[in-house]
């Protein structure tokens, strides 16, 4: 690990246990820790594919979709006015999805969740061998250098089948000051 740079990564195999008692009751309390984001993703998978509580799982994932205020918390203060609008517009389709469609977020067998985190600065540097380089799409480097707020940590979340090196990945989760939020592939919205 390079001095002064935060790097984080861990993998957890999902099962019916491992989530907080509150999450097992159907609710979820958001906290600004990587372990909490891990529990949230475990809970989404469990609700969708183990408990078959699709409405609850969909609601948890839908709550990650940012509105304008939440997007602004992830972006630099000097970002052009139209950028926030484009990002919010990109997510409108996700908020309109029916609950059953959220069952396709990850396959039932993808019970391994890998979460990897890097700061805006680490993503912007995109040093070979770093978590940013290994786990974040290359397009995030440009986004970090031009748009992302300095000092924030962003996470990549990947759902994998046991023993598989790649799965379904979701991009740029961050703590918005109150709860977890997902910027997703913001680079597509602002091309």
Q: What secondary structure does DSSP assign to 59-118, as a single string?
A: HHHHTTS--HHHHHHHB-TTS-HHHHHHHHHHHHHHHTS-GGGGGGSS-TT--EEEEEEE
Please tell me the predicted confidence (pLDDT) of residue 103: 84
Residue 21 has pLDDT above 50, yes or no: no
Count of CB atoms situated within 10 Å of the CB of 140? 26
What is the average pLDDT across 1-29?
40
Which residue did the predictor score with more confidence, 177 or 97? 177
- Tell me the three state secondary structure of residue 158: strand
Residues 120-144: tens digit of each pLDDT: 999 999 999 999 999 999 999 999 9
Q: Which residue in 109, 94, 183 sits closest to 144, CA to CA?
A: 183
At 68-110, the pLDDT tens digits run 999 999 999 999 879 999 999 888 877 888 888 888 889 999 9
Please state, in angstroms and rounded to a whole number, the distance separating the CA atoms of residues 123 and 149.
11
**Tokens at 155, concatenated:** 């996470």
Q: Domains of the chain: which residue ranges? A: 7-189
Give this prediction's pTM.
0.83
Other Cβ atoms closer than 10 A to 31? 14
pLDDT tens figures, 22-66 = 333 347 999 999 999 999 998 999 999 999 999 999 999 999 999
CB crowding 48-65: b at 16 or more within 10 Å, else e? bbeeebbebbbbbbeebb
Report the pLDDT value the prediction gives residue 144, as an integer from 0 to 100. Answer: 97
- Say which residue, 19 or 173, is predicted with more confidence: 173
Residue 131 parent element (H or E): helix 131-135
């Amino acid at each position: 690990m390079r001095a002064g740079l935060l790097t984080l990564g861990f993998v957890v195999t999902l099962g019916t246990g491992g989530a907080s008692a509150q999450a097992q009751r159907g609710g979820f309390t958001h906290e600004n820790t990587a372990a909490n984001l891990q529990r949230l993703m475990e809970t989404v998978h469990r609700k969708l594919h183990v408990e078959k509580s699709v409405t609850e799982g969909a609601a948890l994932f839908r709550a990650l979709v940012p509105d304008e205020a939440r997007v602004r918390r992830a972006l630099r203060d000097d970002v052009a006015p139209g950028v926030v609008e484009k990002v919010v517009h990109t997510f409108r389709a996700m908020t309109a999805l029916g609950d059953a469609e959220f069952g396709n977020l990850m396959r039932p067998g993808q019970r391994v969740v890998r979460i990897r985190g890097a700061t805006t600065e680490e993503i912007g540097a995109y040093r070979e061998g770093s978590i940013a380089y290994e786990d974040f799409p290359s397009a995030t480097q440009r986004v970090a250098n031009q748009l992302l707020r300095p000092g924030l940590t962003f996470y990549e979340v990947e759902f994998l089948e046991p023993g598989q090196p790649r799965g379904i990945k979701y991009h740029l989760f961050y703590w918005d000051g109150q709860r977890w939020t997902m910027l997703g592939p913001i680079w597509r919205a602002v091309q």
